[in-house]
A and B are shown apart, each in its own frame.
Chain A
Amino acid sequence: AAGVIQSPRHLIKEKRETATLKCYPIPRHDTVYWYQQGPGQDPQFLISFYEKMQSDKGSIPDRFSAQQFSDYHSELNMSSLELGDSALYFCASSLGLAGSTGELFFGEGSRLTVL
């Protein structure tokens, strides 16, 4: 069965550079979530989209932006990268919103290293 696809899997950037992460949800899933997980930390919610509209926003820095496109894939754009942005970035998808339908399906993550 198709899973959530994230690219790239690994990314190395210098401080102040820009990075773009991509997420392709499971077919027919209409909701996408982005999470950031630092080393040894729990996943922190960044932002979510439902039917291509932003549905909720968490602890996402102003330097970050995201959108969901007409084919439901999503991109997380990160600018003016800082050392503290080094983390695993997960995308998850679901059919409907988390509280109503429950289970989120996670991708394998994109590991961003900022030097």
Chain B
Amino acid sequence: SQQGEEDPQALSIQEGENATMNCSYKTSINNLQWYRQNSGRGLVHLILIRSNEREKHSGRLRVTLDTSKKSSSLLITASRAADTASYFCATDERGNTDKLIFGTGTRLQVFP
């Protein structure tokens, strides 16, 4: 069954604006990751946050994790046209470390 669900499914913004994407999951996890995918290309790892962390930053990316609500958010600040892509959260499942389960993804379009 699907572990992660994201909202919104699609997001359109102007360059310079911030983009926020949310992810919810179902089971206890060891860590949650965010990946980016350009159309038809492979997924690229962006950031990992462990279950005992609440917030993490990497450049223009800020990720939060609320394990009590089983949810995470990815904030991209000062967006650029090059940020246009699909963004997926992925979780493992505590006690089962053999795979990552991906959410439904958010398609982000940043207009110049």
A-side residues, CB < 8 A to B, are: 4, 33, 35, 42-45, 48, 50, 55-56, 58, 88, 90, 92, 97-100, 102-109, 111
A35's nearest neighbour on chain B, judged by CB, is B102
Q: Is the CB of A97 within 8 A of B97?
A: yes
Query: Cα distance A100–B48 when bound, in Å?
Result: 12
A98–B40 CB distance below 8 A: no
Give every chain A residue within 8 A of B85 (Cβ-Cβ).
none
Residues of B within 8 A of A (CB): 2, 30-31, 33, 35, 40-45, 48, 88, 90, 92-94, 96-105
Chain B residues within 8 Å of A35, by CB: 102
- A sample of 23 cross-chain residue pairs with beta-carbon separation below 8 angstroms, ordered by A number, consists of A33-B100, A35-B102, A42-B2, A42-B104, A43-B102, A45-B99, A45-B100, A48-B98, A48-B99, A56-B96, A58-B99, A92-B43, A97-B97, A97-B98, A98-B92, A98-B97, A98-B98, A99-B94, A99-B97, A100-B30, A104-B90, A106-B42, A106-B44
CB distance from A86 to the nearest CB of B (A): 13
Chain A residues positioned under 8 Å from B98 (CB to CB):
48, 50, 55-56, 97-99
